[in-house]
Amino acid sequence: MRTPPRFKPLARRGWVLLASWPLGGCGGVLDPQGPVGAAEKLILLNSLGIMLAIVVPTILATLGVAWWFRASNRRAVYRPDWEYSGRIELVVWAIPAMTVLLLGGIGWAGSHLLDPAKALASSAAPLEVDVVALDWKWLFIYPEQGVASVNRLVAPVGRPISLRLTSATVMDSFFVPQLGTQIYAMPGMTTRLNLQADRLGRFPGLSAMFSGDGFSRMSFVFDALPDAQFQAWAAAAKAQGPALDAAGYQALARPSQGVAPTTYSAVAPGLFDALARTQTPPPPAGAAVAMPTAMEP
């Protein structure tokens, strides 16, 4: 049955959508906007190429054997007493062994070159940002600027970002797919991550680990701005908004979902270090939140 002319564009778009559906969940990873994400994409493509070098010939050989030894092919020789071939054994074992060595080498080299704690090569000094996972939102503290933000990470484009991460509740996972490197934020511990955005834009960030009722809405945005706009944003945050003192943290730390991005004009000294040393379990929803004892007033 032929497709009516007026439906051909729809049918064509339908085939495109169907063909791209398997890659729908990987769009962020396959569209890197920074050096770390670009390096991780290269590792993925190299690994894919190595595996396809095995998978494609194997599929073709399987189809070829099935076609050659079909019942109607009189030229195919049936050898019921054949049981061993050294050449076949060499091919069967050597090629997978070589594949494992190549994939392992790429993984080993990449894991060292892309060490999350390793500073990125740049002539610009990195922007220091402290990240705290809460229920169910992200707190970003800027020690140099003396401000903080919730569910919005702002940084200058082309400038490395040095992140310190911890969790004030349960174990969580920080991930900006287009910038690369998913990393855990754990209570009582500090992990480090270095990222950089090479292009202006807004990139989605998320929690990549289940952490309770509000997990699905525990997302944030990463805004890569020109340096002048970043400085203006920091100055505007410094000039207005509440302070993240003991009372402010008490209110923020209570479990909540879908929190709109907001800023704090000041941050209690030592807040991140105190949270990183705290190993108390998270309180139930609606309960009072105990302040870290090591935090300065």
What does the alpha-carbon distance between residue 97 and residue 122 come to, in Å, rounded to a whole number? 39
Residue 100 tokens read as: 């494992």
Residue-level pLDDT at 283: 53
Highest mean pLDDT: which of 101-105, 161-165, 277-281? 161-165
Tell whether the model's pLDDT for residue 121 goes beyond 80.
yes
What does the alpha-carbon distance between residue 47 and residue 212 come to, in Å, rounded to a whole number? 34
What does the alpha-carbon distance between residue 6 and residue 12 come to, in Å, rounded to a whole number? 11
Instruction: Give the percent of the chain with pLDDT over 70.
Output: 85
Average pLDDT, the chain: 86
More confident residue, 1 or 203: 203
In order, the DSSP letters of 61-108 are: HHHHHHHHT-TT-TTSPP-TT----HHHHHHHHHHHHHHHHHHHHHHH
From residue 130, how far is each of 112, 143, 200, 220 by CA, in Å?
24, 8, 22, 15
Hey, is 208 helix, strand or coil?
Answer: coil
Instruction: Give the percent of the chain with pLDDT over 90.
Output: 61
Tell whether the model's pLDDT for residue 150 goes beyond 80.
yes
- Peptide bond before 138: cis, by omega within 30 degrees of 0? no
Residue-level pLDDT at 218: 94
What does the alpha-carbon distance between residue 278 and residue 286 come to, in Å, rounded to a whole number? 20
Tell whether the model's pLDDT for residue 4 goes beyond 50.
yes
Tell whether the model's pLDDT for residue 226 goes beyond 50.
yes
Residue-level pLDDT at 187: 92
From residue 67, how far is each of 52, 70, 72, 252 by CA, in Å?
22, 5, 10, 67
Q: What would the mean pLDDT of 34-50 be, rounded to a whole number? A: 91
Tell whether the model's pLDDT for residue 104 goes beyond 70.
yes
Strand partners, 185: 172
User: What is the tens place of the pLDDT at every residue in 172-184?
Assistant: 999 999 999 999 9
Residue 290 class from Cβ within 10 Å (0-12 exposed, 13-18 middle, 19+ buried)? Answer: exposed
What does the alpha-carbon distance between residue 197 and residue 157 come to, in Å, rounded to a whole number? 5
User: What is the tens place of the pLDDT at every residue in 16-27?
Assistant: 444 444 444 455
> Is the backbone of residue 278 left (phi > 0), alpha (psi -120 to 50) or beta?
beta
Residue-level pLDDT at 79: 84
Strand partners, 140: 131, 149
In which band, very low, low, confident or very high, does the pLDDT at 110 lie, cut at 50, 70 and 90?
confident
Q: What would the mean pLDDT of 226-250 be, rounded to a whole number? A: 94
Compute, in degrees rounded to 10, the torsion defined by CA atoms 224, 167, 114, 35: -10
Q: How long a stretch of residues is the chain?
A: 297
Tell whether the model's pLDDT for residue 130 goes beyond 80.
yes
Residue-level pLDDT at 19: 44
Closest CA to 195 of 94, 297, 116, 140: 116
